[in-house]
A and B are shown apart, each in its own frame.
Chain A
Amino acid sequence: MADRAHGHAFGLDVRAQFPLPGLAPGGAGTRPVDVALATPAELESLVPAANAERISDNRPLSIDTAPGQGYLFRTEAYGTHWISAPGDRILCAPPEDAEEWFWQRMLIGQLFPFAALLRGLEVFHASAVVLDGRAIALVAASGTGKTSVAAELTLGPADFLADDVLALEASGDGLIAHPGAGLANVRRSAGADLVDRVAGAGRVEGGDETAVRIAIEPYPEAVPLGALCILRREPAAPALRVARPEPVDPRILLASTFNFVLQSPERQTRLLDVCARAARGVVLHGELPPDSNPATTAEAVLDAVRGAWAGTAQPAGRRPSAG
């Protein structure tokens, strides 16, 4: 069956048998992943219950696996999905009445990052933009505002790189950051003005009462990670402050991962290595008081990053290494 979509995201070369908006064009020679539709019964047969171990039960999502048989993701709202053990195939059985933009949130937001992890990348819970050829990663818990801050930066001098999940890969002494899907879920609580401005810069794909899903063209290639900014809401903080922590706490970096489920020795070693590399670069902590907003936070992040980069050479253009 011919591909209906071909592009790359999260360091994966994705070929899908159904339309899949948000992929950066071309495969870029990275890790191939084939994506197709299937029925729930077909997927359930791939990881039989008799052999299966539940490795995650974080309702509404559960994940079962059996040695060599891949990973079975079950949700009520987004359907049933399966990823092969090596992470090179994804099969999706969405609910019959679900709109594509809705159930594909599962594919973009959970399955691709999981596959990236299986393919040797690390994934951080971060949104990211590109400035002067370097990635600025915004790490934060859900609801802190990383998408909104990234959106403000994208509407300003930066280019959009990823929303909510950032795929990182060791390269030389540092890290490179891969584009995610060109899709951002902008919360309505960030303000109608921001939602309207982001929608104007992209294309609205869907939405509900909580958020609007907007297609934004991502930066087309992987870039060196230039700064990692860890944002945290601090009710008692007297003012917005973005600065380098003294010292960088490795535990906070370890906790920045998007995935706490896969615990193979190879993955754990890789996570530790990625954190050590990140710590050797620019790491900033942002304390966000209750009255902070995405625009002022973005400005503070920009100032802090530019200050940290002052005097450092801009990286030459780089292409991601072949998977």
Chain B
Amino acid sequence: MSGGDRIQEVMAARATVPPHVVSRSFEEETLLLNLESGQYHGINATGGRLLELVSAEGSDGNIGVAVAQLAKECMMEPGEIAGDLANFCLQLEERGLIEIERATDSGADAGADADAGEATG
């Protein structure tokens, strides 16, 4: 998958913070605590704001929407920050700090359901 495709995939995906991750904001950073590993992770203000946006009440967790809002707050174009924030999200996912549901995941599930329906029908 090319870099551009990876960014697009992440922007189309939804992110959730799993129950085993707790966070608290400090002056210039947010600390994430992974209760399963006992490890703390520090993220900067921009990363902290992104997590706030995807976790906000009423948000469906769409990363692209959150990036667009963040770009607006920073008076930048979404395209200018999408790459860095996509990589950021992937790093958080790697550390078990967020879960990313990709659009392709949903499509694969729907396909499997359809197959099951056919098999039992």
Contact = CB atoms under 8 A, between A and B. Distances in A.
A263 B33 CA distance: 12
Given A273-B24, A276-B24, A276-B26, A268 B38 contact: yes
B25 interface: yes
A276 B25 contact: yes
B9 interface: no
Contacts of B27: 247-248, 279
B33 A268 contact: yes
Contacts, number: 35
B38 A272 contact: no
A250 B29 contact: yes
Given A254-B40, A263-B38, A275-B24, A269 B29 contact: no
A250 B26 contact: yes
Nearest to A276: B24
Interface in B36-68: 38, 40, 42
Contact of A272 (B20, B22, B28): B22
Contacts of A272: 22, 24, 31, 33, 40
A265 interface: yes
A268 B38 CA distance: 8
B3 to A, nearest CB: 33
A282 to B, nearest CB: 13
A250 B33 contact: no
Interface residues of B, number: 14
A206 B85 CA distance: 61
B38 A247 contact: no
B33 to A, nearest CB: 5
Contacts of A269: 22, 33, 35
A1 to B, nearest CB: 41
Interface string B9-20: 000000000001
Nearest to B28: A247
Given A254-B40, A268-B35, A268-B38, A279 B26 contact: yes
Contact of B26 (A247, A263, A265, A268): A247
A248 B27 CA distance: 7
A155 to B, nearest CB: 34
Given A247-B28, A279-B27, A265 B35 contact: yes
Contacts of B42: 250-251
A125 to B, nearest CB: 18
B37 to A, nearest CB: 11
Contacts of B28: 247
A176 B24 CA distance: 19
B97 to A, nearest CB: 14
A269 B25 CA distance: 13
A227 B28 CA distance: 20
Contacts of B38: 263, 268
Nearest to B29: A250
Interface in A65-83: none
Interface string A203-218: 0000000000000000
Contacts of A275: 24
A186 to B, nearest CB: 35
A133 B52 CA distance: 36
Interface in A260-275: 263, 265, 268-269, 272-273, 275
Given A276-B24, A276-B26, 19 more contacts: A247-B27, A247-B28, A248-B27, A250-B26, A250-B29, A250-B31, A251-B40, A251-B42, A263-B38, A265-B20, A268-B35, A268-B38, A269-B33, A272-B22, A272-B24, A272-B31, A272-B40, A275-B24, A279-B27
10 contacts: A247-B26, A248-B26, A265-B35, A268-B35, A269-B22, A269-B33, A272-B22, A273-B24, A276-B25, A279-B27
Interface of A: 247-248, 250-251, 254, 263, 265, 268-269, 272-273, 275-276, 279
- Please name the 3 residue pairs, one residue from A and one from B, whose CB atoms are nearest each other, closest first: A276-B24, A247-B27, A265-B35
Interface of B: 20, 22, 24-29, 31, 33, 35, 38, 40, 42
